[in-house]
Amino acid sequence: MDTIKTQQWTSDSVAADLERAIHEHRLPPATKLGEDELGDAYGISRTTVRAALHALSHRHLVELRRNRGAFVAQPSVREAREVFEARALLEPRTARSAAERMTDAALDLLRANIEDEHAALDANENGRALFLSGQFHVEIARIADQTTIETFISELISRSSLIIALYWRRRAALCETQAHHALLDAFARRDGDSAEQLMKNHLLDLVASLDLRNVAQPATSLREALNR
Amino acid sequence: MDTIKTQQWTSDSVAADLERAIHEHRLPPATKLGEDELGDAYGISRTTVRAALHALSHRHLVELRRNRGAFVAQPSVREAREVFEARALLEPRTARSAAERMTDAALDLLRANIEDEHAALDANENGRALFLSGQFHVEIARIADQTTIETFISELISRSSLIIALYWRRRAALCETQAHHALLDAFARRDGDSAEQLMKNHLLDLVASLDLRNVAQPATSLREALNR
DNA sequence: GTGCGCAAGATTGTATACAATCATGTGTGC
DNA sequence: GCACACATGATTGTATACAATCTTGCGCAC
Whose CA is closest to A168, among A212, A136, A127? Answer: A212
> Is the minimum distance from the CB of B46 to strand D below 7 Å?
yes
Q: How far is the CA of A151 from the C1' of C18 (A)?
A: 39
Q: Is A72 helix (H, G, I), strand (E, B) or coil?
A: strand
Reply yes or no on whether the pLDDT at B226 is more than 60: no
pLDDT number for residue A8: 79
Helix (DSSP H) and strand (DSSP E) numbers for chain A: 10, 3
Return d(Cα A223, Cα A226) in angstroms, integer.
5
User: In chain D, which nucleotides are within 7 Å of a protein Cβ?
Assistant: 11-17, 20-24
Across residues B115-131, what is the average pLDDT?
Answer: 93
pLDDT in tens, B132-162: 999 999 999 999 999 999 999 999 999 999 9
pLDDT in tens, B35-56: 999 999 999 999 999 999 999 9
Reported ipTM: 0.90
Return d(Cα A184, Cα A197) in angstroms, integer.
13
Give me the helix-helix angle, B77-101 and B126-143, nearest 10°.
50
Higher pLDDT, A67 or B2: A67
Q: Which residues of B touch A79 (CB under 8 A)?
A: 147-148
Lowest mean pLDDT among A2-6, B10-14, B173-177: A2-6
pLDDT number for residue B215: 61
Question: In degrees, to the nearest 5, what angle opens at C-alpha A101 toward C-alphas A97 and A104?
Answer: 135
pLDDT band with cut points at 50, 70 and 90 for residue B109 = very high
Return d(Cα A195, Cα A203) in angstroms, integer.
12
Q: Give the CATH H-level superfamily of domain B77-208.
A: GntR ligand-binding domain-like (1.20.120.530)
CA atoms in the 13 A half-sphere facing the CB of B43: 8
Domain ranges of chain A: 11-73, 77-208
Question: In degrees, to the nearest 5, what angle opens at C-alpha B209 toward C-alphas B203 and B211?
Answer: 120
pLDDT in tens, A54-71: 999 999 999 999 888 899
> Is the minimum distance from the CB of B49 to strand D below 7 Å?
no
Nucleotide nearest to B39 in CA–C1' terms? D15
What residues in chain A have per-residue pLDDT under 70?
1-6, 171-175, 214-228
Q: Is A227 helix (H, G, I), strand (E, B) or coil?
A: coil
The chain B residues in contact with chain A (CB within 8 A) are: 50-51, 54-55, 58-60, 79, 82-83, 85-86, 89-90, 93-94, 146-149, 152, 156
Give CA separation, A78 vs A15, A73, A93, B93, in Å: 26, 14, 24, 19
pLDDT band with cut points at 50, 70 and 90 for residue B217 = low
The strand pair at A62-65 and A32-33 is best described as unpaired
Q: Can you name the residues that pair with A71 across neighbouring β-strands?
A: A32, A63
Average pLDDT, chain B: 89
pLDDT number for residue B1: 45
Q: How far is the CA of A27 from the C1' of C18 (A)?
A: 32
Helix (H) or strand (E) holding A49: helix A46-58
φ/ψ of residue B41, rounded to 5: -60, -45
pLDDT number for residue B222: 45
Helix (H) or strand (E) holding B53: helix B46-58
Q: In the CATH hierarchy, which fold is given to the domain comprising A11-73?
A: Arc Repressor Mutant, subunit A (1.10.10)
pLDDT number for residue B169: 83
pLDDT number for residue B67: 86
Determine the CATH number of domain B11-74: 1.10.10.10
Give CA separation, A182 vs A128, A179, A191, in Å: 21, 5, 11
